């Protein structure tokens, strides 16, 4: 743990140690390619981002982008998606920290999930120096497509085959388990190389969603559920080209 | 620039290569019940395997009741290899409602699988060798 703090302290000091020579350009436009790897799963993403730098020193930046993320895995567990079943409250933003109602969760093990999501994204960043920056981005709205896959629904110990689970087509960010569809988000640390290129270290949080077509979960309140979500935590790297 | 391209290539290879294929072991197994447990009193259901649409299977499936514990014994089986092969007790020939007894331990030999609880074998009347990942049936035995 001490080593971890030392490494973080070193990075922060190294980042802050670079003095700003001159104000950064007002606009930050770039294309980015990123790849992440998790346990038996991974993703690649390509995006275009248009950020405005704000503030007197132009250290903060925010903007919009469009991002295509392809996610693939093997035998991944998707759990009951609707927020009212998954969490103790559906209040926007509060739901992120709300208790989990695991007693309502069933598991859909999608055998070969493969989802491509194209979404509008919101992007935020802070420039520590000419070379170092950090930021956060999150998908807002878009659509998904991908491969149908067989799946196994496990409900109260009973296993049932879903022959053709399909990717949920519509994505929208409503915070936490209120979300619909497949949405990507990243925390990152970025280092500007010489010229137009930058590299990023990424922590990714990705929602992927599948619908069942033949079978449904019967929730404790009697409603039928066909939406199941996989929450993916992974790390990766990216490369950006700035215009 | 070359370094950057190299890093991207490494990442792509990492992502692509992290897929498990889950093939089944091929070593001969010889799991047997004690001789005093294989009498006709203990044997409840049995059936011979026949080929499925995506693979071949020969041998016998037998359900024994031993000390209030049901066991599925696969004897002298030989199954064509495939990814992610599981042993099911199923209500249907093409499994919809099933009990997963676990991964197939080997493609050949004698094998034992514990059956949790007391399923209704009049409903769960098929023993299956099933590729779970691709939902492909390799072999089936009707238990009678």
CB A45 within 8 A of CB A68: yes
Nearest to A112 among B4, B99, B133 (CB): B133
Average pLDDT of chain A is 90
| Chain B partners within 8 Å of A36 (Cβ) | 15
| pLDDT score for A140 | 97
What mean pLDDT is predicted for residues A31-44? Answer: 95
* Residue B135 · residue B128 · CB < 8 Å: no
User: Residue B69 contacts by C-beta under 8 Å, 6 or more apart in sequence?
Assistant: B114, B115
For residue A78, is pLDDT > 50? yes
Q: Taking the model in full, what pTM does it have?
A: 0.83
d(CA A11, CA A51): 25
- What's the rounded Cα separation, in Å, for the pair A154 and A161? 9
Q: Residue window 5-44, chain A: list those with CB within 8 Å of chain B.
A: 33, 35-37, 40-44
In angstroms, the Cα distances linking A74 to A136, A208, A220, B52 are 28, 13, 29, 24
Q: How many folded domains does chain B comprise? A: 1
A236:B100 CB<8 A: no
Q: Structural domain boundaries of chain A? A: 27-121+140-242
Least confident of A62-66, A122-126, A175-179, A236-240: A175-179
Asked if B11 lies within 8 A of A236 by C-beta distance, the reply is: yes
Q: Which residues 110-129 of A are in CB contact (within 8 Å) with B? A: 111-112
Given pLDDT bands bounded at 50, 70 and 90, which one contains residue A109?
very high
10 Å Cβ neighbour count for A231?
12
In a domain, B103, yes or no: yes
DSSP element (H, E) containing A34: strand A27-38
Q: How far apart, in whole angstroms, are the C-alpha atoms of residue A102 and residue A107?
A: 11
pLDDT score at B26: 87
Predicted local distance difference test score (pLDDT) of residue B138: 96
Residue A25 phi/psi, 5-degree rounding, is: -60, 155
More confident call, A62 vs A20: A62
Residue B134 lies in a domain: yes
Tell whether the model's pLDDT for residue A55 goes beyond 90.
no
Q: Which has more confidence, A233 or B12?
A: A233
Average pLDDT, chain B: 86
Measured between beta carbons, the chain B residues lying within 8 angstroms of A197 are 1, 4
ipTM over 0.90: no
Task: Judge whether B35 lies within some domain.
Answer: no
Q: Which of A150, A159, A237 sits opposite B135 (nearest CB)?
A: A150
A207: pLDDT strictly greater than 80: yes
The domain of B47 spans: 42-142
| Predicted local distance difference test score (pLDDT) of residue B6 | 55
A235 touches chain B (CB under 8 A): no
* Cα B2 from chain centroid (whole Å): 48
Phi, psi angles (nearest 5°) of residue A83: -60, -35
Whether A201 and chain B come into contact, CB under 8 Å, resolves to no
Q: Sign of the CA dihedral B79, B84, B88, B92? A: negative
């Amino acid at each position: 743990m001490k080593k971890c703090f030392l490494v973080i302290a070193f990075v922060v000091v190294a980042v802050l140690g670079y003095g700003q020579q001159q104000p950064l350009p007002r606009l930050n436009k770039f294309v980015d390619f990123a790849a992440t790897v998790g346990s038996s799963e991974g993703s690649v993403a390509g995006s275009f981002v248009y950020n405005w730098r704000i503030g007197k020193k132009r250290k903060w930046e925010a903007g919009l982008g469009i991002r295509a993320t392809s996610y693939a895995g093997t035998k991944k567990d998707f759990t009951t998606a609707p927020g009212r079943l998954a969490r103790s409250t559906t209040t926007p933003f509060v739901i992120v920290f709300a208790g989990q109602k695991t007693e309502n969760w069933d598991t859909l093990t999608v055998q070969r999930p493969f989802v491509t999501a194209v979404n509008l994204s919101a992007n935020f960043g802070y420039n520590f120096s000419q070379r170092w920056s950090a930021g956060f981005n999150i998908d807002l709205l878009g659509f998904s497509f991908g491969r149908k896959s067989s799946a196994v629904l496990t409900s109260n110990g009973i296993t049932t085959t879903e022959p053709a689970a399909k990717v949920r087509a519509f994505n929208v960010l409503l915070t936490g388990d209120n979300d619909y569809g497949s949405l990507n988000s990243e925390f990152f640390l970025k280092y500007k190389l010489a010229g137009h290129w930058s590299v990023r270290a990424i922590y990714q949080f990705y929602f992927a969603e599948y619908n069942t077509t033949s079978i449904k979960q019967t929730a404790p309140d009697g409603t039928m559920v066909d939406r199941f979500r996989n929450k993916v935590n992974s790390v990766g790297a990216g490369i950006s080209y700035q215009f | 620039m070359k370094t950057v391209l190299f890093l991207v290539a490494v990442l792509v290879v990492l992502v692509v290569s992290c897929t498990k294929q889950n093939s089944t072991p091929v070593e001969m197994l010889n799991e047997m019940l004690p001789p005093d447990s294989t009498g006709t009193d203990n044997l409840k259901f049995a059936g011979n395997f026949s080929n499925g649409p995506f693979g071949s299977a020969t041998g016998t499936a037998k359900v024994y009741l031993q000390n209030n514990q049901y066991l599925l014994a696969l004897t002298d089986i030989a199954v064509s290899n495939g990814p992610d092969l599981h042993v099911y007790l199923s209500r249907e020939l093409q499994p919809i409602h099933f009990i997963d007894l676990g991964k197939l331990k080997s493609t050949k030999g004698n094998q034992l699988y514990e059956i949790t609880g007391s399923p209704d074998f009049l409903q769960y009347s098929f023993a299956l060798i099933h590729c779970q990942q691709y939902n492909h049936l390799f072999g089936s035995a009707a238990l009678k």
